Structure 1
Amino acid sequence: MNQRIRVLVVDDSEFFGTLVSGELERLYDMEVVQATGSEEALERLDDGFECIVSDYDMPGTDGIELFEMVRDRGFEMPFFLLTAAGSEEVASRAITAGIDDYFPKTSGDDQFDILGNRIKNIVTKRRTAASLERQRLLHEQLWNVTQELLTAGSHEQMCGQVCQRLVEIDRFAFTWVQTPDETTLGSAGVESVDLGSIKDRLADENADGAAWLTSTQLSLADGTERTVVTVPLEHRGERHGSLVVGSEPGVDFRESDRQSLSHLGTTIGHALAATEMRREVELFQTAVEQAETAIAITDTSGCITYANSAFYEITGYEPDSLRQSSVDRLASESFDAGDYERLWDRVTDGETVRREVVQRRRDGGQFVADLSVAPVAVEGELQRFIIVESDITELKAREQRLEVMNRVIRHNLRNDLNVVTGNISLLLSELESEEGIAHAERAQAKIEDLLDLSEKARLANRIVETTNDDEKHTEASLSAVVDAVVTDLDDQYPDATLQATVEESTPVPEGPLEICLRELVTNAIVHDEDSPEVTVSARASATHEGMVEVDIADNGPGIPKVERQTLERGHETDLEHSSSLGLWLVHWVVTFLGGELRIVDAAEDGSTVRILVPTGADD
């Protein structure tokens, strides 16, 4: 729509003023208003003129002084000066003051062509510049709106912010956002209009149901004419609602306004969909975060991008400290970095892998994990691995205890009781002889062995159950625990030679470590029938921070192969089983402390057993 240029002509000569006005209207279809002096011109400044044409030589206030008064009042429209005198001094003053152009009055008709073309060119440039600036400001404000969409916490907050921002923009008087079922999510400026009436009119026009932007001219009950634009809010073909924007009275929206609102509608539709998706993601993330099962997500190289609280809890790391770290940071001697690489290869090939692995915590302690790793593909392309694992150390230990206890009941106790029964039978028939006494003593010894075996089983359960409790074991220095065990057993077995060296004393769990040392040292003594020599050496682990190593070395017959294999395998079979409960007792205790039991050397001329346990020192 072409808008006529409004011009204010100021001249104290009514004849010349009428002549100029008439020519501008006739030749250029301008809308011209006349004023016969400066005072009248100043009174008309608020009438929306885009240009002023003024005579220079007027009584009281000349044309240059009028220009300066117009500028002082904050009006920046183009100003043209006409004068009958071709004075260079006047021209110089006009240029210095900042007047747009200066024209001498002549008798020829071409002066009106020159004036009209000059007005048209300058006003057109001003309009274009103003339009571009307005469009820039509109885009800037709409950009601010889109940025706020990214931080809105809910649909209502988002739509409320959008509406408030829109009514702060020139030409937009009221606005609201509604869902497809016409629930209002946000509004602004609607207090100034009859919202119910507008909605009814839009429903009659079927504007809200359209799948594209519609513009409707409404004559409201208050007598005003409004332009109302309805913008569909869609994302990927799904309708999320409508944005409705109304104009100031008598103002129509430009095509650029409609385009900008259309783009904004696309952005809002995307933001509404994104907010809904964010809600679902947050719900899912909350569920994952609160899950008792450890869950982690990695990239395709096994580098952790997310892990929930349970994962950090079972691995002993601080929350988020493993982000961007490889999962093989948890590698142990039983399942090392190479094993993880082979695991990633299988999952990369599309396989979901589940297996039991031994992982190492931050403090150096180990635990058994039921590990499951699955590939995550998006549109057929591998993107992530998802890891789900549980700490099954206690479960595995319980399984081991059940296996061992089953073996003890089925094998050791049964065989020993058979021996006891046979000896008692002989005792009954030969009680008065020395041989009968020997049989009785032998039976008594076997009974004592059974009692000792039973006591160890009971002790193992008690230590393990205590280790599972939230209550911490009493702590003592490493040197104090070692010295106490060695001194006590030295008195108990005077024929044995016992030595102890402790390179560094640090807090350790007193009760469990004492039981382990006592069992291992006693076992080394009683299995050497000649001259048992046992050395206990303790130190901070050089390979595992926060752990201590205690070696028990003897000169005895060594640990039988079947005993070693049974412990390394972690379970017993009908054909291969341990003959005693002592090593299992130590294994259970150090395992539940987060440590390890290792047979370092098992030669025929002696053996070395090493236990690693966490220190009690604070991190």
Structure 2
Amino acid sequence: MHDPGGAIRVLHVDDDPDLADLTATYLQRQNDRIAVETAIGADEALDRLDDGVDCIVADYEMPGCSGIELLETVRADYPDLPFILYTGKGSEEIASDAISAGVTDYLQKEGGTSQYAVLANRVVNAVEAVRSEQLLARRTRRLERLIDNLPGMVYRCRNEPDWPMETVEGEVEELTGYEADTLERGDVIWGEEILHPADREEMWERVQASIADEGTFEVNYRIRTRDGETRWMWERGRGVYEDGDLIAIEGFITDVTEREHREKRLEETTARLEALFEQSPDMINVHDAEGTIYEPNARLCEKLGYEREALIGMKVWEIDCSIDSESAAEIWARMEPGDSRRFEGEYERADGSTFPVEVHIRRIDGDDEPLYAVISRDISERRQRERDLERVREEYEELIDGMNDTVWVISTDAEFLAVNDAAVERLGYSREELLEMGPHDIDPETDPDEISALIEGMLEDGTQVFETVHETRDGERIPVEISSSPIRYRDETVILSVGRDISARKERERRLERFASIVSHDLRNPLNVAEGRLELAAEECNSEHLGHVGDAHERMNALIDSLLSLAREGELAADPAPVDVADVVESAWATVATGDAELRVAVEGTIAADRSRLSQLFENLFRNAVEHGSTTSQTESDDAVEHGAADDGTQPGDVAPGPGVTVTVGELDGGFFVADDGPGVPENERESVFETGYSTGEGIGFGLPIVEQVAEAHGWSVRLVESEGGGARFEFTGVDGR
């Protein structure tokens, strides 16, 4: 891999030979620099890496070894080889895993052939970037050898305000960005293009004065490099004389930018520390190993009521009446440089009154003696607040005990004030332990700053509802939905937080994500092959049938997108609008393999619904009724909607429905129904049919759960009862417009 513009060898890894062959065809047609070889599966790909490959393009989901696992194996031996994950299974989790494993690029498969132009462009960009980096690395190594030999530049120039250079050698280009000969020829003038404008006049005056006095000079100044960067230079030079006349200047220049920045940062840090010391809201003093205070800050003087001069020279136990000289000396003797201690004490003011403090002491040795920095904070209000909180905790617990969901009362400082019995039982901590904790201690996914922001948002906007995870004492992670609201109790604002276990819902979402994976990988790949082959066929012949095939592909893509949206996003009613129910019913019936089944439409008017989702609902119910009303054996109809997802790739002709079933769509008060006169559903199973994965056969069980979710997304209620003919009757109520 040398020439950035040379030929590119691509190894395409996929478990689908047809898709791999099609991808190779289109990539080579997009760019004649690309030569594609295919490998079916990860094992074959690994065997061919030593043959010389410029880029790997791999699917994600393959038997035996996923695309991420292949990437990790490749990275072990070929850390810089471009690797593009080209997959039909796209999710934020997969993208994150790919990035962590060192993927070069990530591209999700789409419908149509335009995706191959994008893929070819990604391949070329990735390979050219690596080749350019390799060229740059070789040049950098040569440059580093030169830099090791000379850490700056030497020069000879005329003693004129523009400092025109006669000779320059060394790291000229590294320092200035200009080549040495451009300075020597006069194409670039040091005093005009390089020396910083703000330093030119001062530089001239200082150099002339130094040469006149001592014949030599030493200066620091700024330059502007060719690319506009400002750098600091240190220069030492001397005058060159002939017959007593100054004819030139010779010297050495080196880059001291980092040193200047370091000194500036040190000055700024020192100034900030001094300001913090004096302006700190905490009380600060520095004392020696004898306990003698010699550096108090303004806050300590103010709180104790002493003048600064009076505090200097006092002993620490003269202001902290909770310790004596012996116990203090024992603490200090056990502290090594850098060690710190924390304890609570009692400070005494100049007038004899006292107040509680929290004390932090750290050993910070000086040049020739141990020193101790003490930072103290008045905790009078905290002590009073603790007493008040202890008093009201019992009152809070009386309010929230007995509720089934976990309930907490949280202070606006994000501390637990009270917890109910359900929280104690589910999290595994004692009540006393929980009251020493806060929300961030049981929520590993939300840091304290986020919790503080949530509380602030509640105080401003009211109730907040969000999902998170609670971790039990045993390390179990429980997904929960939190509803938190600010309430006013005994003249105090607190947060009442109720947590509901949503483990079952999360498991249902996981199964939906698995379904999305099946749709994305097992349906999208063959559909991409079909679309590609159709386009190639259209180039070779002209047939009226090809257009119908293309329409079918478009419909299949739309159905797949619809299912993916359902499984991954839940956006089931994105755009409700007035729709004619009878029209949608007739259209949906036409898309289902109905055989000898009969449709009766007894509904009129319009309702507010998303037409695409409503059509999906009817298609699922029609296919379910027709296939379960069939006299055909189960083995002939494994993919009935009740046993699998609608729009899952089933084509007309895949099912052989039996005769006689009649499907009726009629009106209800506040809605509509879909009924059939088939065998029906046993009463003890009618609730189960809406559960994701429920099946009486070998299907994957997504059809009727989709019906329920479409209804819920519209705000409708659905229930399954027995029809007049003894079959199934699905009733939808709460429908706007009916």
> TM-score, normalising length from structure 2?
0.28
Could you say which structure has the larger radius of gyration? 1
> TM-score, normalising length from structure 1?
0.32
